[in-house]
Amino acid sequence: MSAVPVDRPRARPPSVERILAIVRTEKPPASEPAALTDLVRSVIAEERKRLEAGAPATSDQSLADAVVERLRAFAAPPRLAAINATGVIVHTNLGRAPWPEEAIEAARAAAGSLLLEIDSTTGRRGARLRLGEEHLIALTGAEDALVTNNNAAALALAVGLAGRGRGVAVSRGELVEIGGGVRIPEVIRRAGARLVEVGTTNRTRAADFEAALVDGKARLVLRVHPSNFRQAGFTETPQPRAVAELAHRHGALVVDDLGSGALLPTERFGLAHEPTPGERLAAGADLVTFSGDKLVGGPQAGFIVGRSDLIARLRRDPLARAMRPDKVTLAAVAATLGLYRAGVAAVRVPVWRMIAADVVEIGRRTAIVAEAIGPGATVVAVRSTIGGGSLPGETLPSAAVAIRAAGTNGRSLDRLLATLRVGSPVVVGRIEEGRALFDLRTVDPAADQALARAIRAALDVERAARPRAPRSNGR
């Protein structure tokens, strides 16, 4: 809001009628009177709080402008898009995987009406959009597949197969916290099962599972991919195949929670090998669960692949309905997985495009962006990370635009990043060693110029806000 001269000093905000009268002269969008009055009331309530906190009064005209601005903003789709310049490819707090164009298009179409539960050949009621599940079956070699809201739901559903009060055996090295405070022992307890701990924190052998499996003590072995941390030193984890053989000999099921679950070979991109759902099924897992929005690179979803008799039981579970995704997600899942089946995932799925991006090309783009920003921006070599609980410790060489802090404390950088967080478009970078860094690996090349403009504008704001900078209208 611009600094309009204050009408008169006052301790109390203006009346609703007074602001309404000004708003009406501004020809606001045709809104219901009640909605308009509510907005005026909330703007006045905020002004009252500011006055109580000792702030100078805002002019009536500015309050009315704020009302009109909000009417227009609320009537338009919220502008939420952000440029991820953090260098974290799957950034959980930025919405994890950005969707492929094909997924966005499919979701947009599915937002209207579609044959969601109508069989196109018979015209009768049919299974809920199966295309994504058919792709999963083809991509993993599974007998059947089920799509849920997220992998946490998939995991909870699968663990429920153990049965109420029955044992679920987990290596002590895999009793992890997935994120957001969700811990494996609690997932098992909430599923109504009982945790049977196996082995030690650093070393668990296949033979350690024997004691947990004798006499049907544990009905299910759960393997959890340690996706967000890495163990080093004196460690040992059992071979999936050996555990599966032991479990099956004792009549127990094996559920393998892969977390991220890659559908392309990560080693092809210079990364450590990330287990694929197909290879874990081949190693004897009865069910494998993984996320749709980590390395798969699509919408938030959980995938369960494996034995058809078990998937059929999960489909019948009343909880499955509470965990089922909506039509938009199912459409976007089908579109994303279709790109893998077409063999074009590495070039069309943004997560893989970012992973595969050539560091020389990233450096070239970074130089152009730094040049466009002007003085104060330099190009530095950095390392990008995969993020999103995938491939912990693995990094990729990248390049970033660096902005040095003005002065000796880092406050100017905090202010710069804060300005960028409320800009349009929003830009998110990171601070490292006294510099603000904007890593181009995670930026869509089509957004390079917008990124440069946003940083340049934020630098102008930051320079103007510096205490020593003279301002004609400063107080």
Ligand X SMILES: *Cc1c(COP(=O)(O)O)cnc(C)c1O
Contact positions toward ligand X, by CB under 6 A? 150-152, 155, 178, 224-225, 227, 257, 259-260, 291, 302, 389
| Closest to ligand X by CB, 100 or 389 | 389
Cβ atoms within 10 Å of 342's Cβ, excluding its own: 10
Q: How far is the CB of 336 from ligand X (least distance, A)?
A: 14
| Closest to ligand X by CB, 152 or 334 | 152
* Distance from C-alpha of 281 to C-alpha of 258, rounded to nearest angstrom: 11
Q: How far is the CB of 326 from ligand X (least distance, A)?
A: 16
Q: How far is the CB of 245 from ligand X (least distance, A)?
A: 23
Q: How far is the CB of 173 from ligand X (least distance, A)?
A: 13
| Closest to ligand X by CB, 144 or 256 | 256
* Distance from C-alpha of 90 to C-alpha of 441, rounded to nearest angstrom: 12
Q: Are strands 194-198 and 218-224 parallel, antiparallel or unpaired?
A: unpaired
| Closest to ligand X by CB, 199 or 302 | 302
Phi, psi of 75 (to 5 degrees): -80, -10
Q: Are strands 377-385 and 395-404 parallel, antiparallel or unpaired?
A: antiparallel
| Closest to ligand X by CB, 155 or 386 | 155
Q: How far is the CB of 464 from ligand X (least distance, A)?
A: 41
Phi, psi of 160 (to 5 degrees): -60, -20
* Distance from C-alpha of 367 to C-alpha of 354, rounded to nearest angstrom: 18
* C-beta of residue 240 within 8 angstroms of C-beta of residue 285: yes
| Closest to ligand X by CB, 257 or 439 | 257
* Distance from C-alpha of 224 to C-alpha of 170, rounded to nearest angstrom: 8
| Closest to ligand X by CB, 152 or 382 | 152
| Closest to ligand X by CB, 155 or 212 | 155
Q: How far is the CB of 184 from ligand X (least distance, A)?
A: 8
Q: How far is the CB of 174 from ligand X (least distance, A)?
A: 9
Q: Which of 276, 310, 283, 319 is nearest to 152 (CA)?
A: 319
Q: Is 78 exposed, middle or buried (0-12, 13-18, 19+ CB in 10 A)?
A: exposed
Q: How far is the CB of 262 from ligand X (least distance, A)?
A: 12
Listed in sequence order, the DSSP H helices in 374-410 are: none
| Closest to ligand X by CB, 13 or 302 | 302
Q: How far is the CB of 316 from ligand X (least distance, A)?
A: 22
- E strands present in 323-470: 377-385, 395-404, 426-428, 430-432, 435-439
DSSP 261-305: --SS-GGGGTSPPPPPHHHHHHTT-SEEEEESSSTT-SSS-EEEE
| Closest to ligand X by CB, 226 or 425 | 226
- Whats the size of the chain, residue-wise? 475
DSSP 42-61: HHHHHHHHHHHTTPPPPPHH
* C-beta of residue 246 within 8 angstroms of C-beta of residue 278: no
| Closest to ligand X by CB, 84 or 260 | 260
* Distance from C-alpha of 438 to C-alpha of 431, rounded to nearest angstrom: 9
| Closest to ligand X by CB, 43 or 333 | 333
**Cα dihedral 332→333→337→339 (10° resolution):** 10
Residues 6+ apart with CB under 8 A from 421: 427, 428
Q: Is 471 exposed, middle or buried (0-12, 13-18, 19+ CB in 10 A)?
A: exposed
Residue nearest to ligand X (CB): 259
